[in-house]
Amino acid sequence: MSVRQFTRDNNCNVEFDAFCFSVKDFLTRHILLKYDSSGDLYHVTQPSLTPHALLSVSLTTWHQRLGHPGEEVFRSLVSRQFISCNKDKSPHVCHACQLGKHVRLSFSSSNSIVSRSFEIVHSDIWTSPIVSSGGFKYYVLFLDHYSHYLWIYPLRAKSEMFQKFLHFRSYVNNQFKTDISAFQCDHGGEFDNNNLLNLFSQNGIQMRFSCLKTSQQNGKSERMIRTNNNVIRTLLFQAHLPPSFWVEGLHMAAYLLNLLPSSAI
């Protein structure tokens, strides 16, 4: 790790003078690591305990690294000792979270009961108000009801959804040696068409449409789109990137959501 990366990630200052060099906490000025100099060079003369700044970075740093998750996620990660947080840091109000996460009333939970992965796959398409730098306007989401694992594919046109579904289904067949039993979606034309209906009919896949103009019946994928978009916006605000980079944020958001613990599972 370079000195620059060390100081940026851990909010530290590295200071040199005629007698020693030291690593200090940026806010409290507390000395985390110090070595004396006996000549022209600054030697690390003795093995030291691992610096506290490496083992236990601030809550703010982990909050940004992990895509701005909530407090319950942090408590779960810390309790399992997956990460170590510096509890001396006082909680703060995250400006990027305030800009990236907008609250509205949640949908009621699904009552469907499944016993294995891919028994029900939820899907929906989101339309971006801004075309990405790569020319993408949409993304399609495939969400496994049992594991709550998420697959996302950016689209340049909604008509590409059928090919993306074929790609996703082939991945499920080859990697998990199983097939999709039921497919839950809304009545959008990208789902309610002959190509998809004929494929499902020939392979015994149940098509589960929500009622027209009743997005709540497709609530699982609707909620996941909302959660995913919150993470995308927050990451872009944090990185000071324009909205045209939403596809790059999309891939990172999906990766982080699949990685982090979730109350849904």
Residue 194, classed as helix, strand or coil, is: helix
The DSSP 8-state label assigned to residue 188 in this structure reads -
Which residues span the domain enclosing 72?
A: 56-92
Domain presence at residue 149: yes
Q: Are residues 65 and 157 in the same domain?
A: no
203: number of Cβ within 10 Å: 10
Segment 184-240, tens digit of pLDDT: 988 778 888 899 999 999 999 999 887 665 555 567 888 899 999 999 999 999 999
Q: Are residues 19 and 141 in the same domain?
A: no
Q: Are residues 137 and 255 in the same domain?
A: yes
Q: Are residues 247 and 134 in the same domain?
A: yes
* Neighbour-count burial for 51-85, b at 16+ CB within 10 Å, e otherwise: ebbbebbbbbbbbbebbbbeeebbeebeeeeeeeb
The CA-based diameter of the chain, rounded to the nearest angstrom, is 80
Q: What are the phi and psi torsion angles at 62 (to 5°)? A: -65, -40
Q: Are residues 221 and 171 in the same domain?
A: yes
Domain presence at residue 100: no
Q: Are residues 140 and 74 in the same domain?
A: no
DSSP 95-127: HHHHHH----PPPPPP----SSTTSSEEEEEEE
Segment 40-94, tens digit of pLDDT: 666 665 544 444 444 457 778 888 888 888 888 878 888 887 877 766 555 567 8
Q: How many domains does the chain have?
A: 3
Domain presence at residue 97: no
Q: Are residues 47 and 66 in the same domain?
A: no
> For the whole model, what pTM was predicted?
0.64
Domain presence at residue 204: yes
Q: What is the Cα–Cα distance from 219 to 107, expressed in whole angstroms?
A: 6
Domain presence at residue 107: no
User: Residues with Cβ < 8 Å from 75, sequence gap 6 or more?
Assistant: none
Q: Are residues 32 and 63 in the same domain?
A: no
Q: Are residues 134 and 235 in the same domain?
A: yes
Q: Are residues 48 and 61 in the same domain?
A: no
Q: Are residues 254 and 132 in the same domain?
A: yes
3-state secondary structure 45-101: CCCCCCCHHHHCEEHHHHHHHCCCCCHHHHHHHHHCCCCCEECCCCCCCCHHHHHHC
Res. 137 pLDDT band, cuts 50 70 90: very high
Domain presence at residue 99: no
Q: Are residues 137 and 234 in the same domain?
A: yes
| Edge-to-edge strand ranges of the sheet holding 206-209 | 150-155, 138-144, 121-127, 182-185, 206-209
Q: Of the ranges 27-31, 93-97, 197-201, which is most confident?
A: 197-201
Of 244, 219, 217, the closest CA to residue 232 belongs to 244
